[in-house]
Amino acid sequence: MKLEEFQAKKLFREHGIPAPDGVMVTSAADGKTAALALGCPVVVKAQVKTGGRGKAGGVKLARTPDEAFSAADSILGMDIKGFRVERLLIDPAVPIAAEYYVGITIDRKRKIPVMMVSASGGMDIEKVAAETPEKIHFQPVHPERGLRFFEAKKLAFRLFSDSREVMAAASIMVKLWKCFNDLDATLAEINPLARLEDGSITALDAKIVLDDNALYRHPGMEELRLPTPSEKKELGAKSHGLSYVQLEGEIGCMVNGAGLAMATMDVIKHLGGTPANFLDIGGSSNPEKVVHAMELLVSDSNVKAIFINVFGGITRCDDVANGLVQALSGIDLEVPMVVRLTGTNEEEGIRILAGHGITALKDMTRGAAEAIRLAREGSVGR
């Protein structure tokens, strides 16, 4: 679960990390009021869960409340990489002397968190990593011991020379670790961490991604969820035990298992088709799940054909077939559908489906090819 900047900054401040105490607004008028209250100049910042908003014009300096109004007015409703701007953060503007990067994430290879710092702040850190990897300094963090002050100090001496700045930065790093650990985050990032002209160190941007699997330990965090329209659809699917990601293609897919679902999308693409979605219905043959999954697929107007790809494992194909039949009986389908069914008891399963007029194949690649063909023809497959 990605938090927005204004939410992440609040959590930072609660953990003792200095960050401008701005105001989140959803209208230009409120933006002006906030600018008046904070005192100008202010920075007007689009709250979107994507990078590169600065280049897209989503961040503006305002020297007067009126400028704040017009900046807010122009940014609200903007589309940044597919994200519509609905919220702004009005932050007091501060005089920046230099910008740094500080972040923590999970090092999958070493299986532990790692803190990364760089003097190349304010830039896309993945770009820094790709182009000048020597400019990023790493410190693995033992998950039980946490980031020790001496480790933070070593990193801070890579970025700063003044000992007060070193100590301030090291202290922020330790607090960032605590924030990351306390919240069960998978990413906690300050970019840029700024040295201001007065020598103080402060977090000018804030990014936190929480571990969805650990949200049960942080019930309050669920309230911070501000889903975009596509996230809403995914969350709705999740509430029915479905894992769904909408894409832009024509072939709606319904698959049991995440790996197999990716393989299904891949084979569609490999054969020249375009998958409309990722959709994993999990291991069960529960008809209710299939109904919800079908509703997701038909609600996507891009979908020209549906490909159901099921591998019967512990759950037998005949049971799966019965489940599918039951689920599909209540649905009035307007696009063609191809079912592929294989695994334990596949012959019996295919026979059951055929008995209800549902074409079922045993081969995944052929099934995908058939779905693509039907989508192109626009004909009905059952």
Partner 1 sequence: MSILIDEKTRVMVQGLGRDGSFHARQMKDYGTSVVAGVHPGRGGSVFEGIPVFDTADEAVGKTGAQCSVLFVPAPFASDAILESANAGVGLVVAVTEGIPVLDMSRVAQELDELDTRLVGPNCPGLISPGKSKVGIMPGNIFSRGPIGVISRSGTLTYEVVNQLSLAGYGQSTAIGMGGDPIVGMKYNDYLVHFERDAETELVVIVGEIGGTDEQDAAAFIGQHVTKPVVGYIVGRSAPPGKRMGHAGAIISGADSTAEAKVNVLREHGIPVADTVEQIVDLVAAGLGG
CB 164 within 8 A of CB 66: no
- Selection from 231, 161, 173 nearest residue 1 by Cα: 231
Q: How far is it, in rounded angstroms, from Cα 130 to Cα 125?
A: 8
Which of 18, 275, 336, 349 is close enough to bind partner 1 by CB under 8 A?
A: 275
Q: How far is it, in rounded angstroms, from Cα 31 to Cα 135?
A: 37
Query: Binding pattern to partner 1, positions 50-79, x when CB under 8 A?
Result: ------------------------------
Answer yes or no whether residue 334 interacts with its own copies by CB under 8 A: no
Which of 77, 95, 126, 301 is close enough to bind partner 1 by CB under 8 A?
A: 126
Span near partner 1 by CB under 8 A; candidates 15-23, 156-164, 220-228, 294-302: 156-164
Alpha helices in the chain (DSSP H): 5-14, 28-38, 65-75, 125-131, 149-159, 163-182, 229-239, 258-270, 287-298, 317-329, 346-355, 364-377
Out of its own copies, partner 1, none, what residue 58 binds, judged by CB under 5 to 8 A for its kind, is none
- Selection from 152, 220, 283 nearest residue 11 by Cα: 220
Q: How far is it, in rounded angstroms, from Cα 341 to Cα 16?
A: 56
Identify residues 118-157 at the interface with its own copies (CB under 8 A).
Answer: 142, 144-145
Q: Is 100 a catalytic residue?
A: no
Answer yes or no whether residue 265 interacts with partner 1 by CB under 8 A: yes
Answer yes or no whether residue 16 interacts with partner 1 by CB under 8 A: no
Q: Is 101 a catalytic residue?
A: yes
> Facing residues of 92 across strands?
42
CB 46 within 8 A of CB 85: yes
Answer yes or no whether residue 302 interacts with partner 1 by CB under 8 A: no
Least distance (Å) from partner 1 to the CB of residue 101?
15
Which DSSP category does 275 fall into? B
Radius of gyration over every alpha carbon of the chain, rounded to an integer in angstroms: 26
Answer yes or no whether residue 113 interacts with partner 1 by CB under 8 A: yes
Least distance (Å) from partner 1 to the CB of residue 329?
25
Q: Which chain residues interact with partner 1 by CB under 8 A?
A: 106, 108-109, 111-113, 126, 129-130, 142-145, 148-150, 153-154, 157, 163-164, 166-167, 181, 184, 186, 211-214, 216-217, 243, 245, 247, 255-263, 265-270, 275, 278, 280, 283, 311-314, 342-344, 363-365
Active site residues: 101, 189
